[in-house]
Structure 1
Amino acid sequence: MNSTEKEISFQVTNTYSTLNTLTSSTKYIWFVCHGMGHLSRYFLKYFDALNPEEHYIISPQAPSKYYIKPDFKHVGASWLTKEKTTSETENIMRYFDAVFKAEPVPKYCKLIVLGYSQGVSVAMRYVAKRQLACYRLIIMSGGIPKELTPNDFAFLKEKTKVSMIYGTDDEYLNDERIAYEKKKVLELFGETVQIIPFKGKHEVNKDIINTIGNS
C-alpha cells in the first residue's frame, strides 16, 4: 500500500459559551477551559454561584466532539490527543485568539484563567504562547505540559496569583504523579504558588471556585 498523508488549511467555525452579562460593574472575567467529555455550555454550571454582577464567564468549546459512554447518547468533546499535537495546538491557539477578539477584556476587569483536567494543557499553553497577562491562573486536576519552562511565564513575575487544585482521591493522580505536578508548578512559578488539595475524586470543586471568586 502506497499511502501519503497530506495537509490542507481551511476556515472552521466553532462556538463558545458565556455566563452573565459584561457591564461597567463587572470586576472579573473568567476564561475557563473544560475537561475531556465536557461541553462548554454545561461547564458553566460550576460558576453559576459567583456574583453575576461582578463575574463574567467565557467558556471556549473544545473542537473534537464525540458520543460518550455508557449509552453513547450524550456528546462530549476533547481538546488534544497525542496525534498531531503541535498543529492541533496551533489551531486551538488561533481559536482562542478569535474568542478574545470577540470578547475583549476591558481594562477595568481582572482576567482569571482556569483549566480543568485536559483544559489545563490548552489554558497554560495559551497563557505562555500569547504572553497573556492575567490576575489569576488556576490549574485544577490536570497535567502541566512538559515542554513549558519558567521562561515561558517570566513575564508574569509576581503579578499573577497561581493556584494548583487537586482531589486527594483523584483516580488519575497517584502519589508519584501528584509529586511530579507539584514540583513542576513550583519550578514554573516559584514558592508563591498556592497548592490546594481537597477531599474528593477527579471533579470540578465548585466550593473552591466560589471561595477564590469571593476572595
Structure 2
Amino acid sequence: MPISPDDIRIHTRPTVRTARYAVLGTGPAEAQRVWFVLHGYGQIVPRFLRHFEGVVPEDCCIVAPEGLSRFYIDMPRSDGAHLQRVGAGWMTREAREDDIHDTMRWLDELYADIMQQSPHAAVGVLAFSQGVATATRWIAQGRVRPRAFVAWAGGVAHDVDAQAMTTALQDTDVTLVSGDQDQFVSDDTRAAMLSSLQAWQPAATSVVFAGAHHLERTVLGPLLARLSGPESAARDR
C-alpha cells in the first residue's frame, strides 16, 4: 500500500549544536564600535570577511555570525570535486519557523556575549543579500538595537511587525546599498526596498555604486566609520 502524506507525522525536538562566528579588528573589550555583519547565501564567515580587508576602523570590532545551515555549494560530481566549496545559509522554506527561531536565539546569545565584553560600544548591523531578511527579523524580534543599520543588496523580511521595526529603528541611521549592475536588484526592486525601509525609518537613504552583487570596499569603509562612538551613543540613550 502506498504511503500518503497523512501517514507521515513530523515531530520536532530542540537540540544543542555548535555555532560559529568570526571576529575581525580590535577585540570587543577595547572596541568603541561593534558591527554585527550577516553574510549572504552560500557564504561562510572566513570568505565573507575578506571583503572587509583594509577598511575596518582601528576602534572597531567586526563580529560575523555564521548561518546554522552549511552545505556543499557545487553539484555532485563523480570525482568528488564538489566537496571542495562549502557555503552557509540562514534558512529555507522547509521547517521555516524552526529555523527562524533557532537563528534568533543564536544571534541573541552571541550579542549578549559580545556586549558583556563591550557594554559601552556603539552597535551597528550590516547585512548582505540573504542576510538582510534575517537582520530585519533580528532587529524586530531580538535584543539588538543598532545605532546604524546597513541593508546591502537584499530584501527585508515581510513577516516582521511594522510597529516593532519602527520603534527599533527610530534613532537608527538606515542605509540601503546596492550596485548599479546587480543582477538581483533592478531599479524597481531598489525602489521597493527603500520604500520598505522608509516605512520604518523615514530618514533611510540609498547608496548606489558602480558594480554588481558584492560588497564594495570604497563604500563599505565610510559606512563602518559613520557609526557613532560611545560618547554620542550614550548621549542618545
> TM-score under structure 1 normalisation?
0.91
Q: Point out the structure with the larger helix share.
A: 2
Asked if structure 2 preserves the Cα contact closer than 8 Å seen for 1:93 and 1:126, the reply is yes
Does structure 2 retain, via aligned residues, the 8 Å contact 1:149–1:188? no
Find the counterpart in structure 1 of residue 42 from structure 2. Answer: 37
> Where in structure 1 do 4 or more consecutive aligned residues deviate above 6 Å?
none
Whole-angstrom CA distance in 1 between matches of 2:29 and 2:144: 22
CA distance in 1, matches of 2:71, 2:12: 23
Letter in 1 for 2:178: Y
Q: How many residues align?
A: 214
1:67 Cα deviation (Å)?
Answer: 1.2
CA contact (8 A) 2:151 2:177 kept: yes
Instruction: Quote the Cα distance in structure 2 between the aligned partners of 1:172 and 1:24.
Output: 38
Match for residue 137 of structure 2 among 125, 148, 151: 125
Q: Secondary structure at the match of 2:47?
A: helix
- The residue type paired with residue 60 of structure 1 is P
Q: Report the counterpart of residue 28 of structure 1 in structure 2.
A: 33
Task: Single out whichever of 30-39 and 83-92 deviates more from structure 2.
Answer: 83-92
Q: Secondary structure at the match of 2:193?
A: helix
Cα 1:132/1:98, change in 2 over 3 Å: closer
Residues in 2 aligned to 1:66 and 1:23: alpha-carbon distance in whole angstroms: 30
Name stretches of at least 5 consecutive residues in structure 2 with no aligned partner.
76-80, 227-237
Mark the runs of 5 or more structure 1 residues left unpaired by the alignment: none
Contact 2:111 2:144 in 1 (8 A): no
Distance (whole Å) between structure 2 residues aligned to residue 103 and residue 69 of structure 1? 34
Shift of 1:198: 1.2
- What one-letter code is carried by the residue in structure 2 that aligns with 1:148? V
Provide, for residues 10-43 of structure 1, a one-character-per-residue CA deviation record: whole Å limited to 9, x for no partner. Answer: 1111111111232665221010000011101221
2:194 alignment partner in structure 1: 182
Correspondence 1:189-200 to 2 at 5 A: 189-190=201-202, 192-200=203-211
2:69 maps to: 64
Cα distance per residue 1:51-103 (max 9 Å; x no partner): 45311010001111111137522101111112222221010011112212321
Identity of aligned residues (%): 23
Aligned residues: CA RMSD: 1.9
- Structure 2: how far apart are the matches of 1:153 and 1:144? 11
The secondary structure found in structure 2 opposite 1:57 is strand
